Structure 1
Amino acid sequence: MSAPWVAGNQVELLINGEQYYPRVFEAIARAREEILLETFIIYDDKVGQQLRQALVDAAKRGVRVEVAVDGYGTADLPPEFLASMTDAGVRFHSFDPQPRLVGMRTNLFRRLHRKIVVVDGELAFIGGINYSADHLGDFGPMAKQDYAVQVSGPVVAQVHASSQRMMAAVLEAPGQVKPVLTSSGTAQACLVERDNGRHRTDIEAQYLKAFRQAQRRIVVANAYFFPGYRLLRELRNAARRGVEVTLILQGQPDMRWVRALSRLLYNYLLRDDVRIREYCQRPLHGKVALVDDEWSTVGSSNLDPLSLSLNLEANLLIRDRAFNQHLYEHLSELAEQHCKVVTLERMIRGYWWRAPLIFMGFHITRYFPRIAGWFPAHRQRLHSLHAEPETRGDLHEGQT
């Protein structure tokens, strides 16, 4: 079960790095006691360097700074980049770092894919945006389209507790920060996680529940769309009962094989009037959805086997009409102005040679959760860089 819904929250949608990074860096600059930060990727570019400086400055003024990155996603940070943080007092942890084998990265599955920041137990950020320049428009045609939320209010306590649990094994002490529980807005919210313990299917379950209860509209904007059979069935069933179902998927992919897999499922959905739009302005990296006039979610979880069955993920669920409407208007603009319409007639062309692939793709989605159970399930294994300074080089090699 996910955490309970709590009222009295203020939730603000942040679109792309242009809105996200200034808010996060400002919050870090104002931190008084504690910063907890989790991310899949930090690059040694202008965004990563700005993050590093903000964290170093916070640590130097006495703020407790805990950073957890993924050992696969955070690739090849220079030793001086890491040393400048740990020497200043930033505690830097890597999730499941593994050495390369014949130059190849071996830790492919069960990644720390969450993107969370909690400052002083008062303010939290949750979404899909990493710390890299490719989330900014000036990166060029391959700049990513992505989302996060800034949230204050009682739900921050859930985010804070989740991040503390993530880092529990490497924390020298639990910390003395007590999350602020006072109301700051009108939104209901709750944190929903996917882990390798008691919450293996919580995010998928929340999507299924929302789709089953939908009465008027469903809009999903998701970068890597290859969900399990149950989610596909609920989308189709919703369209059959008259719900307007719109999927905004990658049309300018950062990984072409991802779009190829998604397209194997198009026929199944289009036959029941699910509307599919491929976003072509830039690579879509978002993981957002809304149902009817109130329910929304923003987070790190894609609707694919890695996110739904293997990775560690975190999404915020939101019940708020104003937030839902704002997200709906934004996604509608994307669909109308920057997407191409995918029709059943178009997808039927060449169906004869794609039919076997479609059959295989459909059944892979149906049985993948069971197959995923064959992979070894490790828990939150963080390795602290600062704990044994003499091993910095080995730990750095594991961060690929």
Structure 2
Amino acid sequence: MTNGRWTDGNTIELLENGEMFYPRVLADIERARDEVLIETFIWFDDDIGYQLHRAVIDAAQRGVRVDITVDGFGSGKLPADFVQTLTDAGVNLHVYDPRGSVLGFQTNLFRRLHRKFTIIDATVGYIGGINYSMEHVREHGPKSKQDYAVRVTGPAVDEMHRFCRDQVGRTHEPTRRGWLRRLRWYRPNPLKPARDAQVALVWRDNAEHDQTIEQWYYQGIAEAKREIIIANAYFFPGYRFLRALRLASQRGVRVCLILQGEPDKFYVRHAAATLYDYLLNADIEIHEYMDRPLHGKVAIIDGDWATVGSSNLDPFSLALNLEANLFIRDREFTMLLRERLVALMDTACRRVRRDSVPRQKGWRQIVRVLVFHILRRFPTWARIIPGHVKPIRRSGQDRLVPHDRKRLT
């Protein structure tokens, strides 16, 4: 299928954090009649994980075909009884790159399945950065994550469904139904949906589409005339991406970055901070989100271009992981997302100023320069790491589930 084909006539709902996302997706799964397709990096055996667990078991027991693919690193510690009850109920659970641990450490560190899809009856789809875990709800505490996803109906769901069904094999083709569009049992979304939006599904793999998401960013940045706002959890792109932002700023575009100020991983802020001199010298605004860890992967350009998805702007997402983003051309949706991001900057972010960036001296400056140049080249070097193709194993079976080599990479 074509990577990045625009479709018209889609309805897009912005879902901010787990409090909006989980009630919507679980309600859709509870009404599924024919098929549930899920891809996720993380599925934990916590309260949210068990809500999904019950929902898909119930669906399978009433005759719905359920295929769930999880990453062997992100979801590698699910308890045996958790998995067994799924397979006993008829849920098809697939694991991308399943491996054991060595001395308690996981060995499947690179080329992860990082996409997040949920598709019900080939009629409604979800995509974004939200996994299935308590980490995405405020109840989790100060380490809960700020994140985004979208609920989609319309022709774009056909693209999402074909892509996800290809990953697990076309042994099942559901009859497309219109019932999910008509029913109105859901909790009202306080964020108004955008209708008749133009949408393209864009994915990254380790074969012929290894730079596709990055290229779509480049095109949007190159065409920007007024404003670029990027909110990204793990921001350490290569030099070409940084140069594109600098050139946009030089031609008068306001460029704003929302990055982690209270990161969920100790090295995130230090890595991003190695870029601060370059970015500030280019008159690019840096806003550190201080309320809790930022996990979003979203951007808007000029009030009519937006993207929401799973791809960070770091070496893992740009050079190693399997990722997927929706790119959206719709003024109503883009302005809504802009409104939410500006509110974040105004109420929960700290603006990084030149005088607040400590000057590094001596060996610290040498180390910082070395780290910057090593990491900025990493997306290129990472392509020589072996093992582009990773297996997907169906739980409860000794054999690997056959797949097309290009689709899995």
By the TM > 0.5 criterion, same fold?
yes
Name the residue aligned to 1:43. 44
CA distance in 1, matches of 2:327, 2:387: 26
Match of 1:371 among 360, 366, 381: 381
Work out the number of aligned pairs and report it: 386
Residue type of the partner of 1:236? R
Name the residue aligned to 2:326. 316
**Given that residues 92 and 395 in structure 2 are in contact (C-alpha distance below 8 angstroms), is that contact kept between their aligned partners in structure 1?**
yes
Displacement after TM superposition at 1:178 (Å): 4.6
CA distance in 2, matches of 1:246, 1:370: 26
**Given that residues 35 and 174 in structure 2 are in contact (C-alpha distance below 8 angstroms), is that contact kept between their aligned partners in structure 1?**
no
Displacement after TM superposition at 1:357 (Å): 3.4
CA distance in 1, matches of 2:297, 2:265: 16
Name the residue aligned to 2:118. 117
Task: From the superposition, tell whether residues 200 and 177 of structure 1 become closer, same or farther in structure 2 (CA, over 3 Å).
Answer: farther
Query: Counterpart of 2:106 in 1: which secondary structure?
Result: coil
Task: From the superposition, tell whether residues 158 and 179 of structure 1 become closer, same or farther in structure 2 (CA, over 3 Å).
Answer: farther
**Given that residues 236 and 376 in structure 2 are in contact (C-alpha distance below 8 angstroms), is that contact kept between their aligned partners in structure 1?**
no
Name the residue aligned to 2:200. 190
Name the residue aligned to 1:15. 16
CA distance in 1, matches of 2:237, 2:202: 18
Displacement after TM superposition at 1:101 (Å): 1.4
Displacement after TM superposition at 1:167 (Å): 1.6
Name the residue aligned to 2:366. 356
**Given that residues 76 and 98 in structure 2 are in contact (C-alpha distance below 8 angstroms), is that contact kept between their aligned partners in structure 1?**
no
Name the residue aligned to 2:190. none
**Given that residues 15 and 148 in structure 2 are in contact (C-alpha distance below 8 angstroms), is that contact kept between their aligned partners in structure 1?**
yes
CA distance in 2, matches of 1:120, 1:18: 23
2:255 is aligned with 1:272: no
Q: Which moved more, 1:251-260 or 1:353-362?
A: 353-362
Displacement after TM superposition at 1:80 (Å): 1.1
Displacement after TM superposition at 1:349 (Å): 2.9
Name the residue aligned to 2:215. 205
- How do 1:226-305 residues align onto structure 2 when only pairs under 5 Å count? 226-305=236-315
Residue type of the partner of 1:266? Y
Displacement after TM superposition at 1:353 (Å): 5.1
CA distance in 1, matches of 2:245, 2:358: 20
Query: Counterpart of 1:155 in 2: which secondary structure?
Result: helix
Name the residue aligned to 1:397. none
Q: Percent of aligned pairs with the same residue?
A: 49
Displacement after TM superposition at 1:294 (Å): 0.6
2:106 is aligned with 1:105: yes
Name the residue aligned to 2:189. none
**Given that residues 319 and 380 in structure 2 are in contact (C-alpha distance below 8 angstroms), is that contact kept between their aligned partners in structure 1?**
no
Displacement after TM superposition at 1:354 (Å): 4.3
- How do 1:314-353 residues align onto structure 2 when only pairs under 5 Å count? 314-350=324-360
- Root mean square deviation of aligned Cα: 1.9
Task: From the superposition, tell whether residues 362 and 177 of structure 1 become closer, same or farther in structure 2 (CA, over 3 Å).
Answer: farther
Query: Counterpart of 2:377 in 1: which secondary structure?
Result: helix
**Given that residues 156 and 179 in structure 1 are in contact (C-alpha distance below 8 angstroms), is that contact kept between their aligned partners in structure 2?**
no
CA distance in 2, matches of 1:381, 1:348: 46
Task: From the superposition, tell whether residues 333 and 185 of structure 1 become closer, same or farther in structure 2 (CA, over 3 Å).
Answer: closer
Displacement after TM superposition at 1:134 (Å): 1.1
CA distance in 2, matches of 1:342, 1:179: 50
Which string of whole-angstrom CA distances, capped at 9 and with x for unpartnered residues, describes residues 46-76 of structure 1? Answer: 0000000000000001000000000000031
The normalised TM-score by structure 2 is 0.91
Residue type of the partner of 1:373? R
Displacement after TM superposition at 1:291 (Å): 0.6
Which string of whole-angstrom CA distances, capped at 9 and with x for unpartnered residues, describes residues 342-364 of structure 1? Answer: 01222253355543234223322
CA distance in 2, matches of 1:96, 1:331: 35
Name the residue aligned to 1:89. 90
Q: Which moved more, 1:70-79 or 1:111-120?
A: 70-79
CA distance in 1, matches of 2:217, 2:150: 18
Task: From the superposition, tell whether residues 215 and 361 of structure 1 become closer, same or farther in structure 2 (CA, over 3 Å).
Answer: farther
Residue type of the partner of 1:149? V
**Given that residues 227 and 302 in structure 2 are in contact (C-alpha distance below 8 angstroms), is that contact kept between their aligned partners in structure 1?**
yes
Query: Counterpart of 2:336 in 1: which secondary structure?
Result: helix
CA distance in 2, matches of 1:362, 1:211: 22
Match of 2:393 among 370, 380, 383: 383
CA distance in 1, matches of 2:288, 2:251: 24
